[in-house]
Amino acid sequence: MGNKDKSQIHSSLAVFETKQVRTHWDETEEKWYFAIVDVIEVLTESSRPRKYWNDLKSKLKKEGSELSDQIGQLKLKASDGKMYITDVANTEQVLRLIQSIPSPKAEPFKLWLAKVGYERMQEIADPSQSIDRGRENWQKLGRSEKWIQQRMTGQETRNKLTDYWKQSGIEKKDEFALLTNIIHEEWTGLSVKKHKDLKGLKSQNLRDHMSEAELIFTALAELSTRKIAETEDAQGLGENAVASKLGGAVAKNARTELESKTGKSVVTGENFLAPKKEIKQMKSKKKK
């Protein structure tokens, strides 16, 4: 991604610094949700963002869009300090809404979306481009070649496991999350959430902040789970939950064996987040 693309993204994100957009992090879905009226107020500077949103919903329905029907609701704190039911959208839905808002402030987002869409079409035609982009992005973030290779190998192992789950009757997102958590908790002794808390993560992807050893043992746990599930012809949530616990136990046994030999814990609080001092400096520069 070039400097021009980065500046477009930074410009679009800077729009939201003028007003606090209320957000909610869903632990189960691992998704951010945004208050739609806040997003609309920022982009349009409308004095009546709720009316704007109601009019936009009507317009979208007339155009045949199902987006407004997919919008959820959450209780969020308003400016008067009270909690009110508020229409919310996840990241993908917000970006789709932005495309329907004729605002100069939305243009940086639209340009970025067009670029992402074009890249996605390229990746569908040639999947290797997706792999190359992933490797390039990790390199820019300072990851070692060894780490990148393990991250990509682990993702392939993960994909094969989720493919098996889909074939064996696992369909709902919370079922995938439940099985993943069973495997993770069995081999690490921590739930996914507690492992993220240990690393000081919020919305970040846990695997992107794992050490090389954590990635290897995660892959071993998921590979073992798939092999056991295939051998037992596990079907449905119950049988796959049993296979997940057994698969996680394989990695747990290997982890405890390694730790007994090295005296070092495989599961750590290490991450790739920018140091707090650096974050504070970045914030102070913005204020200036």
- Sort 188 into a burial class: Cβ within 10 Å, 0-12 / 13-18 / 19+: buried
pLDDT of residue 253: 98
Average pLDDT over residues 60-76: 83
Of 78, 106, 121, at which residue does a domain stop? 121
Asked if residue 134 belongs to a domain, the reply is no
What are the pLDDT digits (tens) for 101-150?
877 766 665 665 556 555 555 554 555 555 666 778 788 878 899 999 99
- Sort 204 into a burial class: Cβ within 10 Å, 0-12 / 13-18 / 19+: middle
Asked if residue 247 belongs to a domain, the reply is yes
Asked if residue 131 belongs to a domain, the reply is no
Residues 80 and 199 in one domain: no
Residues 79 and 189 in one domain: no
Residues 117 and 152 in one domain: no
Residues 113 and 29 in one domain: yes
Residues 73 and 154 in one domain: no
Residues 210 and 157 in one domain: yes
Contact 101, 44 (CB under 8 A): yes
Residues 177 and 108 in one domain: no
CA distances (Å), 160 to each of 136, 146, 150, 167, in order? 24, 22, 16, 11
Asked if residue 53 belongs to a domain, the reply is yes
Asked if residue 199 belongs to a domain, the reply is yes
Asked if residue 269 belongs to a domain, the reply is yes
Beta-bridged to residue 83, according to DSSP, are 77
Asked if residue 168 belongs to a domain, the reply is yes
Of 66, 86, 121, at which residue does a domain stop? 121
Residues 115 and 152 in one domain: no
Asked if residue 285 belongs to a domain, the reply is no
pTM: predicted TM-score of the whole model, two decimal places: 0.59
Q: What is the mean pLDDT of the chain?
A: 81
What are the pLDDT digits (tens) for 160-203?
999 999 999 998 889 999 999 999 999 999 999 999 999 998 87
Residues 62 and 165 in one domain: no
pLDDT above 70 coverage of the chain, percent: 77
pLDDT of residue 108: 64
Residues 184 and 218 in one domain: yes
Other Cβ atoms within 10 Å of 138 Cβ, number = 18
Structure tokens given for 145: 């070649």
Domain with 211 in it = 145-277
Overall domain count for the chain? 2
Residues 104 and 168 in one domain: no
Residues 185 and 84 in one domain: no
